[in-house]
Amino acid sequence: MKKVFQSTGLAKREREISKYMDEVTEIGRAGLSRRELLKMGVAAGAGGLTLGLSKSTQAAIIDPQVNPFVSPQVLNPWTENLYIPPTVHRIDPNNGLYPAPVPIPGATPSNFTIAELAARNPSSWGGQTVTDPSGQPLMRYSEARKEEHQRWSESYPSAKAYSSAPVGSTAGPLKPLKPDNAHHYLLLAREVPYCFYPHADGVGNHCHVWTFCDGSDPKSYAGEYSTYEAGVRVAPLRLVARYGQPTYMRVVNMLPADNRGFGINKISTHLHNHHNAPPSDGGPLRWFEGWNTTNNTAQFWDYHYPNIRAGFTGSTYKTSIYKPYPSYPTGYTDPKTGIVDNRPWQTCAGNFAETLSTLWFHDHKMDFTAQNVYKGLASFYTLYSDDINLDYGDADPEDPTAGGDETKGLGLPCGKNFEFDIPLVFADKMFNPSGGELFMDILNFDGFLGDMTTVNFQIKPKLEVKKRKYRFRMLVGGPSRFFQFHLSVDRAGTMVDIPYAFWRISTDGNLLVKPINQTCFRLGVAERVDVIIDFANLKDANGFSVNEGDTLWLENRLHQINGRGPSGKVLPANEATKILKIKVNPLPVGEVDRSVIPPLPSVTRPIPMLAMPALPAQEAKKIAVSRTWDFGSSNGAWSVNGKLFDPAVISAQIKPNTWEQWTITSGGGWAHPIHIHHEEFQIVSRDNTKYPSGIPTEEISRKDVLRIGDAALINPSPTALEGASINSGKVVIQMQFRDWWGDYPMHCHNVVHEDHGMMIRFEILK
Amino acid sequence: MGLAALTAAPSLLAASHKTHSKHAPNATERRRSRFLNVPLVTHEGKIVHFYDDLMKDKTVLINFMYASCADSCPMTTSNLKKVYTALGDRVGKDVFMYSITLDPEHDTPHLLKSYADLFKTGPGWTFLTGTKDRIEQLRANLGYKNSDPVADKDRTQHIGVVKFGIERLERWGMAPALGSPVAIAEYIDWLEPGAKQPSLEILRGRYEDPGNITMG
């Protein structure tokens, strides 16, 4: 209902106002100060009208500040087993993706319908019927990518001649691989009914997630993909890759326009920490569309992950990715096909010291990264380096001859079907108590915190472990919360710390030079750590051993009450957020733990961990260019060097094969986990204290996420829990730019900050 | 009590909620609950309700300004005038622009009318004022709020960003209010279903030296 507001004396006042505005304009031109202008503004408004609006209100006013959500309570915590992210299966191993990946989508872009896909090779789906989840059988998916895959002729292997490397090829330090051995995967980005609460709570699928589903699984196509009632969860997933074996990952966008309150069905899948070309980087601008049910179209994107270590081109782009392996004999017989191949073997190039292990892929759509990742578009990408006999694991889970042999390489815990190599993604969520749908406050620019901490998309699950070593790959999935992980044991209802429970073997995606024994560690959004916990050798703070039957708790003790960052306070055990309950069981008779915590100074192992790449400062003066980047706030949004993200702008042009030194700064009052795509950096100094004394031991590593600002670091000698953190406002890093060319972003991985301006793009020139 | 305050002690507050209720808000309720439906007055002297009259089912651009701000508001407004032009005949049809004053005690409807006339704005672009309390509530509701109280009091901290969105689809983005007008109009296209994606020209980008380089 609208009313016309009436007033008297209009003509006179309008003249005054107009005169005032003319003055303002003139004053603006004359460059008078704001103080003077404000005075004039006050003068002009002194006789302003009193509107008396409070009485005219007729429609209901709903103030969200008096109606905030608090998630429904968990009634049966610690009753459901932890969901372990399953490995994605290769799509149609005989033929690969249909249609086959192409270097560049031409005038007639590659496209398909689900019916055509199913007809191509029904055996892939076990003969089960596969239908389009949209309910529109004619829905046609075409590729949105406009740019050519780089180095296609060097790195595109056909999918047709899969051949595993010979078993036990210990002839040299390198395990050679065939060039024709790409693995193809089909992922469907889908809306899935989901339950984060324990099964025993009986709330069923109370909400929906948007997540990646394994396209080789016929269940992924069902219209009503109801997973929980069947006792099967579908997300997150784990894609297993290995160096020297290219991965083709096709992501099909099956997301609906209806977002249930937040998110957008335009996605860009970023493989976080990987070293590859912009068309496969999944940056903020390279998105593709979900269902358009008016014309039955949707889009997909083929990501090309060559799985080559950084530095493979050496000093020139001309060098080939794969080099002939000189000493390996020709005439390899494929164990599956019996075909003898007489071409020379090749090896995976690159700097061995830049070997990665734990990566993840997640949505990166400009302005919507926080919403879409919070909705569930995140999964693991674990990269094995059995080619150099290092992180051996189970690099090809579908090869029956392989199988998580823990006596090879570094001897890290793995086991058959990754029983002892478990990825854990931590993310906080909030649920609408009315109906239980996932809730996000999208109008809050500071950052969003949920009141329910989930691990692998579950609230308060339990994990039964055997009394032996496990490898946990821990990832903070965002959007805004920082974590400090501790492990404690339940002693008759009292929680007792377990000091030095974690053997940290990586920082972000990088295996460390040597493992670090830690009581706790801090992670910002998108940071990762691989730890080994030896459940057979844990002692609590009172010196008592952890035994069979004991209950352990994985906790987050970092205090944080808003999206700007942690307060710096660390909570005592009884006030911390318990995330996962771990029950220690005996190691079954006949099972032996052959894994090791890799080479400690006192332990002799044949395989050393890798040295770091040498910094230029330690070699000679090689820094070509130094740049400064200030992460701050501007006009109520988040900025880099005072500017909000402009998608059309490149803020740095970098010569290939050069080193640069970047100084990252940030004011106080907030914390930012800064992420740089494509190339990793090493920290040279923090707050003017140089490497290595000013840097925590775990940061003496290559990294791709940098914590800066409030509570960036753990205080190694706190006087009280309040003094548990150190702020860090200035970090100097060094990095080199190699191998691929084009644009990549640098941004804050508090993804709410990223979506509200805190991002730039840099370009590696060709 | 704000959301942030609540998350500080979720365990205490959660105890007052037993468990899931069966009633899920439908899309209409959800959309309505996101924005305040406060009464405002337009520069033409009409009383309108923010959600019902200005937001519901519309594609909108929203910014905050005040008439006595001479530093950047005039530049912002003239830049938004270019956005207005770039949006073409969509403005007033399915796209609506709202400039809300941060200084309602001084920015009367008449003053805002003069301000609009000064910039020769046209149909589909409304300047809004209201009571101080309502405007402050609305500012917080729309996220133009700094959790640092000192910065929050500084009006100039709330004028640099234009928020835009498709209310019907619950898709919201933001851009610098002084950003390229063509680009801001394009961002709205990028929110639309099945619409265009960034051109190769944008992907390649245009180098702008931030002045942050030293050699060696």
Write the pLDDT tens digit of every residue in A110-160.
899 998 888 876 666 767 778 898 889 899 999 999 899 888 766 654 433
CB contact under 8 A, B194 and A63: no
Residue A759 C-alpha, separation from nearest chain B C-alpha, in angstroms: 12
The answer to whether residues A555 and A465 belong to one domain is: yes
Q: What is the pLDDT of residue A607?
A: 46
Q: Which residues of A touch B113 (CB under 8 A)?
A: 14, 17
CB-CB contact of A355 with A385 (8 Å): yes
Shared domain for A189 and A298, answered yes or no, is yes
C-alpha atoms less than 13 angstroms from C-alpha of A444 in its C-beta half-sphere? 23
pLDDT for residue B196 is more than 90: no
- Ranking A426-435, A483-492, A618-627 by mean pLDDT, the lowest is A618-627
Of the segments A43-57, A406-420, A533-547, which one has the largest average pLDDT value? A533-547
Confidence of residue A233 (pLDDT cuts 50, 70, 90): confident
pLDDT at A156: 53
- Read off the pLDDT of residues A88-123 as tens digits, 9 standing for 90 and up: 998 877 777 888 888 887 656 689 999 888 887 666
**Total domains in the fold of chain A:** 4
Please state the ipTM of this predicted complex: 0.90
For residue B63, which residues of chain A lie inside 8 Å, CB to CB?
none
Identify whether A739 is part of a domain: yes
Whole-number Å distance between alpha carbons of A752 and A759 = 11
Contact B71 A34 (CB under 8 A): yes
For chain A, count helices (H), then strands (E): 8, 45
Percent of chain A whose predicted confidence (pLDDT) is above 70: 75
pLDDT score recorded for residue A70: 80
Q: Do B113 and A56 count as a contact with CB atoms less than 8 A apart?
A: no
A179 vs A220, higher pLDDT: A220
Res. B69: pLDDT tops 90: no
Asked if B144 lies within 8 A of A636 by C-beta distance, the reply is yes
* Residues contacting residue A589 through CB under 8 Å, at least 6 positions apart: none
Residues of chain A neighbouring B49 (CB-CB closer than 8 A): 58-59
Torsion angle in degrees (nearest 10) through CA of B68, B70, B72, B75: 100
Average pLDDT, chain A: 80
pLDDT tens digits, one per residue of A287-308: 999 999 999 999 999 999 988 8
CA distance to A97, A255, B45, B190, per residue, from A258 (Å):
29, 9, 36, 16
What local confidence, expressed as pLDDT, does residue B119 receive? 93
Query: Which residues in chain A are contacts of B52 at CB distance < 8 A?
Result: 59
Asked if residue A85 is part of any domain, the answer here is: no
- Could you tell me if A284 and A158 lie in one domain? yes
Mean pLDDT of A258-273: 97
pLDDT band at A3 (very low <50, low <70, confident <90, very high): very low
Cβ–Cβ below 8 Å for B179 and A37: no
Q: Is residue A755 part of a domain?
A: yes
Q: Is the confidence at residue A649, as pLDDT, over 90?
A: yes
Q: Are residues A252 and A347 in the same domain?
A: yes
Comparison of pLDDT for A96 and B184, the residue scoring more: B184
A197, burial (CB in 10 Å: exposed 0-12, middle 13-18, buried 19+): buried
Which comes out higher in pLDDT, residue A94 or B176? B176
As a whole number of angstroms, the distance between CA B145 and CA B103 comes to 15
Domain-terminating residue out of A585, A606, A634:
A585
More confident residue, A703 or A722: A703
* Shared-domain flag, residues A501 and A644: no
Q: Are A304 and A427 within one domain?
A: no
Give Cα separations from A681 to A306, A666, A693, B69 (angstroms). 21, 18, 18, 43
Last residue of a domain, one of A388, A406, A441: A388
pLDDT, average across residues A182-208: 90
Identify all chain A residues contacting B131, using CB atoms and an 8 Å cutoff: 51, 53-54
Same domain flag for A199 and A274: yes
pLDDT of B150? 83
Q: Would you call B19 and A757 a contact, using CB atoms and an 8 Å cutoff?
A: no
pLDDT at site A19: 44
- Residues spanned by the domain of A730: 616-764
Most confident residue range from A143-152, A235-244, A273-282: A273-282
DSSP A589-620: TT----------TT---SSPPPPPPPPHHHHS
In this structure, are residues A427 and A198 in contact, taking their beta carbons and an 8 Å threshold?
Answer: no
Q: What band does A240 get if pLDDT is binned at 50, 70 and 90?
A: very high
Q: Are residues A274 and A343 in the same domain?
A: yes
Question: Are both A119 and A210 inside the same structural domain?
Answer: yes
- Is A94 a domain residue? no
Q: Are residues A177 and A293 in the same domain?
A: yes
CA distance A38 to chain B (A): 6
CA nearest neighbour of A549 among A500, A490, A503, A596: A490
Would you give the DSSP letter of residue B51? I
Residue A668 is assigned to a structural domain of this protein: yes
Q: Is residue A398 part of a domain?
A: no
Strands A469-478, A421-431: parallel, antiparallel or unpaired by DSSP? parallel
User: Pick from B39, B115, B207: which is nearest to A650 by CB?
Assistant: B207
Residues of A in contact with B4 (CB under 8 A): 446, 449, 561-563
Structural contact between residues B91 and B181, judged by C-beta atoms closer than 8 angstroms: no
How far off is chain B from A461, nearest CA to CA, in Å? Answer: 17
Residues in B closer than 8 angstroms to A292, CB to CB, are: 193-194
- Cβ contact (<8 Å) for B14 and A70? yes
Per-residue confidence at A401, pLDDT binned at 50, 70, 90?
A: low
Q: Give, in order, the Cα–Cα distances in Å from A184 to each of A92, A250, A421.
A: 8, 8, 23
Q: How far is CA A698 from CA A666, A673, A722, A765, in A?
A: 22, 16, 22, 32
* Residues A645 and A547 occupy one common structural domain: no
Q: Name the residue facing B108 among A38, A48, A436 (closest C-beta).
A: A48
CATH number of the domain at A447, please: 2.60.40.420
Query: Cβ A636–B160 below 8 Å, yes or no?
Result: yes
A477 pLDDT higher than 50: yes
* Amino acid making up residue A77: P
User: What is the mean predicted confidence (pLDDT) over B27-33?
Assistant: 90
Sketch out chain B's domains with CATH numbers: 25-204 (3.40.30.10)
Mean per-residue pLDDT for B157-169?
A: 92
- In this prediction, residue A752 carries a pLDDT of 94
Instruction: Give mean pLDDT, residues A532-549.
Output: 97
Measured between CA atoms, how close is A541 to chain B, in angstroms? 27
Contact criterion met (CB < 8 Å) for A636 and B109: no
The reported pLDDT for the residue numbered A205 is 87
Model confidence at A718, in pLDDT bands (50, 70, 90)? low
Instruction: Please answer yes or no on whether A45 and B48 come within 8 Å at the CB atom.
Output: no
- Phi first, then psi, for residue B4 (nearest 5°) are -60, -40
CB pairs under 8 A between A and B: 341
Instruction: Identify from A364, A368, A578, A646 which residue to disrupt to test chain B contact, counting B C-beta atoms within 10 A and taking the largest count.
Output: A646
Please indicate, yes or no, if residue A93 is contained in any of the structural domains: no
CB contact under 8 A, A45 and B137: no
Same domain, yes or no: A151 and A16: no
Residue among B37, B160, B202 whose CB faces A634 most closely: B160
Cβ–Cβ below 8 Å for A60 and B37:
yes
pLDDT for the residue A612: 55
A346 occurs within a structural domain: yes
The pLDDT assigned to A610 comes to: 57
Cβ proximity of B184 and B162 under 8 Å: yes
- Identify which of B106, B157, B190 has the shortest CB distance to residue A48: B106
Final residue of a structural domain among A363, A388, A413: A388
pLDDT at A620: 47
